Structure 1
Amino acid sequence: MSFDRQLFEGFWQLLCHRNELPVQGDFLRFDVPGGEVVVFNDDGELVAFDNRCPHRGARIYQGDHGNQAATCGYHGWTFRKGHLIIPERESFVNCGIETATWRTLPVDWCGDFLFVGIAPRQPLYEQLGKVATLLENISFNIAGRHDFSRYDFECYWPLAVENALEPYHISMVHPSTLGTLALEAGENVFDGKNSVWYAPVGNAAVRKKLATLKRFFQLDFQYEGYMSIYLYPFTMLSSTFGYSYSLQHFLPHPADPDRTSFTSRLLSTPASSPAAQAVIGTFLDSTAQVNRKVFDEDHAICRTMPRDSWSTEPLRFPSASEAKIVHFRASCRDVLR
């Protein structure tokens, strides 16, 4: 089994928040090592399954997200309310049709965050460690999804992850976007293979403006600075002042090892009142626009890095701001031992 597939199947993967899929038929599709995974609202229950019909292997969903019945467009095989519906079932004789099943995948919850685990090494809460409490607190402050962006990074996925893990490049690559926060050195917290970076906003004018927005949100959890959570191996969850959260996946491309299937969803937090919703909508639109520019900037620099730029070996010249890369590579070496 390849290293990439070993990581996907051996660890619980955070896929989505409950409020991203509130309506029957809502779905999200992910490219993953070995194929595609779909999360689907099946009459109020979120289920995950392989995006292939068990009949002839056709893909069920083509889009990244939307609302559509879990029905194969080839012959109409359908998954609904936990059951497989087969048109003209009586015509399937002497073939064991009663054993046909929709290939659903094991799932578990941390608060309102849904994880999928193919063959995880340990229970979800053991894998998450102390980060689990942080994720629970965040999850209960998510109202829904405001924005969805997706494109392929033209690099091997660990290079994209390492770029996201270190703030050393911010002033050079993001001077007019993320750089305007003037993030301070902050603190890295490591727990198992996961890590969290807490960084105060050093730009006093920006910090004051962000603080004045607090009255528009109904929050019972907030870090008043920039917080970036890394869930080994493929997921980042970041926020400034807890007003929204960018849930990012850096998944190995299923067909091209020199590409990364990158997605980011901007998750919104609750408004303090109906009148506040208009202000929040403008704020979220602006946040989504800035986030997309940041990702474009990240992609532009990541595409300059050939695959052999990455290895599990320790960095030769690690700066203090690259401590999370040192930790990431040590985690990868541990998996390969």
Structure 2
Amino acid sequence: MPTRTTAPLPTRVIPPHHYSDPAIFEQEKARIFRRSWMFVGFADDLGGNNDFITAEIAGTSVLVQNFDGQLRAFHNVCTHRGSLIHLKPCGNGKPVCPYHGWVFNRDGVPVGIPGNREFFGFDDEARRRLALPRFEVATRGRFVFVRLEPGGPGLDEQLGAYGALLDHLSALFVEKIDENRLPWAANWKTGVESVLEVYHVDATHPETFKQFTKKVWNCAYEKEHSRGTTHLSDGSVKWWDGVVARLGLPRSELYRNYDHFFIFPNLAIGLTHGGLMSVQTYDPLDAERCSLHFRLFLGATSKPQTRGGPVRRAVEDNLRGFNARVLDEDRIVSEAAHHGMKQMRQPAVPGWCEERIHAFHDAYLTRMGE
């Protein structure tokens, strides 16, 4: 385990009240979530005409829709009476409000208004004034991002060197084996912090993640983002080598430990021995709640005969079960930390074994203008 004894600890730490103050949450929405490129889903769900995905970005419902091969992003709220337009996380269908049947085109303009002549009398200009607010949308590999507020750096600039990472992962991890949204009674920052250090592993994950890794890690930084590499236990390496050979799974030659990447403000990507990808976002719901949205991916097998077989099913069940146990353990301690943070009067004191926490706090406070 690396130790730091000579350098002073950074002093910029997020104040306790930032984890539960509704006024601070409103500032976060304006200064962080509206101005950042936010990961909203995968291009896998947007391959055909009229395919769509929806997402919540700090209280703003977003719709990304494929119009004849072109992706466009809008506010997913009808300008007539405020109903959500698409109600599902993903699917296929034109943007039609389920409340009164208003139909919106690729520019977000309502082109189909039942009873327009009799009840509204909207001409073309009036329809254009009722267009859905439009957001910026961009992709890197299969990862789809939306920015609510225009201006600022492009997606590639925000990602920096991690853009190439997303390209690499997009080409490799193409088979989704699990996805879910889990409600956490904790601030989104508390959720993020639960994945940025391994100091908590012994106490929080004694029967799960502790058995999976060694007490060795290395950290690196890219702009507001960070990477932590934790060495796998010998037993984990042996198990993964066997699974890869038995099922014919591809894996990354670049990442062979437990490689964890964090893309500010709330996207976490974990790679296990180059063979499994976990993608997680800690989506804020309000000052005291977030939703953990996770997806698990494997690579496309070179032995298609194993797909659906008993060994493949057993491996997938093992991975899903392990992931569920670890995330539930993180939820329990994150909710405990959130509850306790509301009673603290002094800032937290993360040590060098939690150095990625310091980087996250520094990026957050800079964005918040503090």
TM-score when normalising by structure 2: 0.80
Match of 1:272 in 2: 302
CA distance in 1, matches of 2:158, 2:347: 23
The alignment status of 1:113 with 2:139, answered yes or no, reads no
Of the three residues 109, 131, 138, the one matched with 2:162 is 131
- In structure 2, relative to structure 1, the CA distance for the partners of 1:98 and 1:190 (3 Å cut) is closer
Matched position secondary structure for 1:165: coil
CA distance in 1, matches of 2:139, 2:255: 23
Of the three residues 304, 317, 320, the one matched with 1:285 is 317
Query: Which amino acid in the other structure matches residue 228 of structure 1?
Result: H
Query: Which amino acid in the other structure matches residue 295 of structure 2?
Result: R
CA contact (8 A) 1:29 1:39 kept: yes
Matched position secondary structure for 1:171: helix
CA distance in 2, matches of 1:166, 1:295: 14
CA distance in 1, matches of 2:61, 2:277: 24
Match of 1:87 in 2: 113
1:28 Cα deviation (Å)? 3.6
Aligned residues between the structures: 332
Mean CA deviation greater in 211-220 or 20-29: 20-29
Matched position secondary structure for 1:6: helix
CA contact (8 A) 1:31 1:251 kept: yes
Match of 2:270 in 1: 238
The alignment status of 1:29 with 2:54, answered yes or no, reads yes
- In structure 2, relative to structure 1, the CA distance for the partners of 1:49 and 1:269 (3 Å cut) is farther
Match of 1:56 in 2: 81
CA distance in 2, matches of 1:104, 1:221: 40
Match of 1:192 in 2: 223
1:28-72 Cα deviation digits (max 9, x unpaired): 432322322233444544433222112221012334445555321
Match of 2:329 in 1: 297
- In structure 2, relative to structure 1, the CA distance for the partners of 1:27 and 1:266 (3 Å cut) is farther
1:94 Cα deviation (Å)? 4.8
Matched position secondary structure for 1:2: helix
1:303 Cα deviation (Å)? 1.1
- In structure 2, relative to structure 1, the CA distance for the partners of 1:79 and 1:174 (3 Å cut) is farther
Matched position secondary structure for 1:229: strand
- In structure 2, relative to structure 1, the CA distance for the partners of 1:154 and 1:185 (3 Å cut) is same
CA distance in 2, matches of 1:309, 1:228: 26
* Identity over aligned pairs, percent: 25
CA distance in 1, matches of 2:329, 2:76: 31
1:80 Cα deviation (Å)? 5.5
CA contact (8 A) 1:4 1:252 kept: no
- In structure 2, relative to structure 1, the CA distance for the partners of 1:63 and 1:174 (3 Å cut) is farther
1:82 Cα deviation (Å)? 5.8
| Structure 2 residue ranges without an equivalent (≥5) | 1-25
Matched position secondary structure for 1:224: coil
CA contact (8 A) 1:8 1:33 kept: yes
CA distance in 2, matches of 1:217, 1:162: 31
CA contact (8 A) 2:213 2:236 kept: no
1:1-337 alignment runs, 5 A limit: 2-24=27-49, 26-67=51-92, 69-79=94-104, 84=109, 85-88=111-114, 89-91=116-118, 92-94=120-122, 96-119=126-149, 121-202=152-233, 204-215=234-245, 216-219=248-251, 221-253=253-285, 256-278=286-308, 279-306=311-338, 309=341, 315-316=348-349, 318-337=350-369
| Structure 1 residue ranges without an equivalent (≥5) | none
CA distance in 1, matches of 2:327, 2:249: 26
Mean CA deviation greater in 213-222 or 186-195: 213-222
TM-score when normalising by structure 1: 0.88
- In structure 2, relative to structure 1, the CA distance for the partners of 1:231 and 1:87 (3 Å cut) is same
Q: Which has the higher relative contact order, 1 or 2, with Cα contacts under 8 A spaced 6 or more apart?
A: 2
CA contact (8 A) 2:45 2:91 kept: no
Match of 2:8 in 1: none
Larger Rg: 2
